[in-house]
């Protein structure tokens, strides 16, 4: 059995909690895209832990996998492993596997992310964690993979090939490159030694597990409308967040998909810039934010809140092929009267129950009471 879980909105729908609730029913849990720009919170023995790379389900018994479609900051992963170990949650190579092809976020990716956002006249709202630039290198065939940093000689050769062009790019953005590259190169070599025991071939593991009748759960980061292709360009993430990308990013055939679960919040939120047609300003929006704890796990930024949006959900069903939907945070609406939803959009004096192909930032939501 192969199940895929994705968020149906702009992320932060509660995917991590749902994965934690379902984890005991699965043999493997696989993270298939994104980086440490996403996060989830777990509570263990009364302690709250905010995680960004370690997959959800860490408190259960399944084997956890990080697939080759992920971009990973290895220092953050090491910190999470050490932090969990200090709290008696030990993540051994038997518990966690990381694909050898997983892209590594390098220090220059983070610097370029900061510089790129600073030079934009219209901000995107990036987390400045180097995600976009790591994915750019993957597409440009200039990436550094996990297997590279586990081999000192190969890693240093790879850096010597790529670094000159990164320095030139930084200079073009008005920033002098760091001169102490030897320090971080040696640091990454050390991190690579620590992570070498975790190396695996995720595609091979997952396909073998499915052939043996085991149950696999694939979890995505962010949400449908942050998808690099189908999201609200340009205010999107740098990877494909919809269910179909799980097959590509893990490395399995689509015929093996058994079910697709969509996580839907009872209202809608968004972090950063970009269109949010039902956004609430004022007391109601503040109430949803405070009662729902709507602050980013990764950045701590307050999330923008709005009424439930049916046109966006209808498109999410098509984009992901949901077989099931989980509704979260319904309790946050308790005591709120009236509760409203967006049932359609108005655009150019026409009514649409499905988002028009033009950007939704030009649409007017049709709001009704429930």
pLDDT at residue 176 tops 80: no
96 and 210 fall within a common domain: yes
Catalytic-labelled residue, pool 24, 27, 36, 40: 40
Q: Which domain holds residue 274?
A: 265-313+328-369
Within the chain, strands assigned E span 2-7, 28-31, 40-44, 47-51, 63-66, 71-72, 96-99, 103-104, 199-200, 216-219, 259-265, 268-270, 304-306, 308-309, 324-328, 340-347, 350-352, 364-369
Q: What is the pLDDT of residues 235-244, one digit of tens each?
A: 999 999 999 9
Catalytic site residue from 12, 99, 148, 309: 12
Within a domain: 355: yes
Do 202 and 296 fall into the same domain? no
The answer to whether residue 12 is catalytic is: yes
Q: What is the DSSP string of 3-40?
A: EEEEESSSS-SSHHHHHHHHGGG-SEEEE-SB-TTS-E
Q: Does the residue 279 lie in any domain? A: yes
Q: For residue range 85-133, what is the model confidence (pLDDT) as tens digits?
A: 888 888 999 999 999 999 999 999 998 888 877 767 666 667 778 999 9
Same domain, yes or no: 156 and 296: no
| pLDDT single digits (tens) 290-331 | 999 998 776 778 999 999 999 999 999 999 999 999 999 999
13 and 42 assigned to the same domain: yes
Mean pLDDT along residues 205-216 = 98
Q: Is 295 among the domain residues? A: yes
Looking at the structure, tell me whether residues 93 and 133 fall in a common domain.
no
Examine the pLDDT at 177 and tell me if it is beyond 90. no
Would 319 be classed as within a structural domain?
A: no
pLDDT of residue 57: 85
Count of structural domains within the chain: 3
The answer to whether the CB of 33 falls within 8 A of the CB of 240 is yes
Mean pLDDT of 73-82: 94
| Nearest alpha-carbon partner for 33 in 314, 185, 248 | 248
> According to the model, what pLDDT value does residue 298 have?
67
CATH number reported for the structural domain that contains residue 249 in this entry: 3.40.440.10
Q: What's the mean pLDDT in 153-164?
A: 92
Average pLDDT over residues 253-269: 98
How far is CA 244 from its chain centroid?
15
The residues near 89 (Cβ < 8 Å, ≥ 6 apart) are: 44, 58, 59
Q: Cα(first)–Cα(last) distance of the chain, in Å?
A: 37
State whether 60 and 91 are in the same domain: yes
CATH number of the domain encompassing residue 117:
1.10.300.10
Asked whether residue 230 falls in the same domain as residue 280, the answer is: no
User: Does residue 89 belong to any structural domain of this protein?
Assistant: yes
Specify whether 37 is located in the same domain as 82: yes
Q: For the chain, how big is the Rg over CA atoms in Å?
A: 21
Domain boundary among 195, 218, 239: 195
Asked whether residue 270 falls in the same domain as residue 352, the answer is yes
Do 96 and 203 belong to one domain? yes
> Among 229, 245, 262, which residue terminates a domain?
262
Q: Which of 217, 95, 94, 70 is nearest to 145 (CA)?
A: 70
User: Is 282 found in the same domain as 165?
Assistant: no
Instruction: Please say if 40 is a catalytic residue.
Output: yes
The CATH number linked to 270 is 3.90.170.10
Q: Where a domain ends, among 219, 239, 262?
A: 262
Residue 318 maps to a domain: no
Q: Please state, in angstroms and rounded to a whole number, the distance separating the CA atoms of residues 88 and 99.
A: 25
Residue 248 covered by a domain: yes
The reported pTM is: 0.93
Residues 165-186 have a mean pLDDT of: 81
Torsion angle (degrees, nearest 10) of CA 191, 113, 71, 219: 130
Residues 127 and 13 in one domain: no
In a domain, residue 322? The reply is: no
Cα–Cα dist 255/161, whole Å = 40
């Amino acid at each position: 059995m192969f199940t895929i879980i994705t968020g149906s909105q702009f992320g932060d729908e509660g995917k991590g909690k749902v994965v934690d609730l379902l984890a005991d029913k699965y043999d493997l849990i696989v993270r298939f895209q994104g980086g440490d720009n996403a996060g989830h919170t777990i509570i263990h023995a009364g302690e709250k832990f905010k995680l960004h790379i370690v997959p959800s389900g860490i408190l259960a018994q399944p084997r956890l996998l990080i697939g080759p479609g992920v971009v990973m900051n290895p220092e953050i992963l090491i910190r999470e492993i050490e932090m969990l170990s200090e709290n008696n949650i030990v993540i051994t190579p038997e518990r966690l596997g990381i694909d050898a092809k997983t892209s590594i976020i390098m220090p220059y990716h983070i610097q370029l992310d900061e510089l790129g956002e600073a030079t934009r006249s219209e901000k995107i709202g990036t987390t400045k964690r180097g995600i976009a630039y790591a994915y750019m290198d993957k597409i440009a065939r200039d990436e550094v993979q996990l297997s590279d940093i586990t081999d000192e000689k190969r890693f240093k050769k790879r850096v010597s090939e790529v670094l000159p062009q990164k320095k030139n790019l930084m200079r073009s953005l008005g920033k002098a490159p760091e001169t102490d590259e030897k320090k971080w190169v040696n640091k990454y070599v050390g991190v690579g030694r620590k992570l070498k025991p975790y190396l695996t071939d995720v595609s091979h593991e997952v396909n073998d597990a499915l052939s043996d009748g085991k149950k696999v759960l694939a979890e995505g980061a962010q949400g449908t409308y942050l998808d690099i292709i189908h999201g609200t360009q340009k205010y999107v993430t740098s990877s494909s967040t919809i269910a179909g990308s799980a097959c590509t990013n893990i490395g399995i055939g689509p015929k093996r998909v058994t079910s697709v679960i969509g996580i839907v919040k009872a209202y809608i939120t968004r972090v950063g810039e970009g269109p949010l047609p039902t956004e609430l300003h004022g007391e109601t929006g503040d109430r949803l934010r405070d009662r729902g704890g709507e602050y980013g796990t990764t950045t701590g930024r307050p999330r923008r809140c709005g009424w439930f949006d049916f046109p966006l959900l209808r498109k999410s069903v098509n984009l992901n092929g949901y077989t099931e939907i989980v509704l979260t945070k319904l309790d946050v609406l308790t005591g709120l009267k009236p509760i409203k939803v967006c049932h359609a959009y108005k655009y150019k004096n026409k009514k649409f129950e499905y988002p028009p192909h033009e950007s939704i930032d030009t649409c007017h939501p049709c709001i009704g009471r429930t």
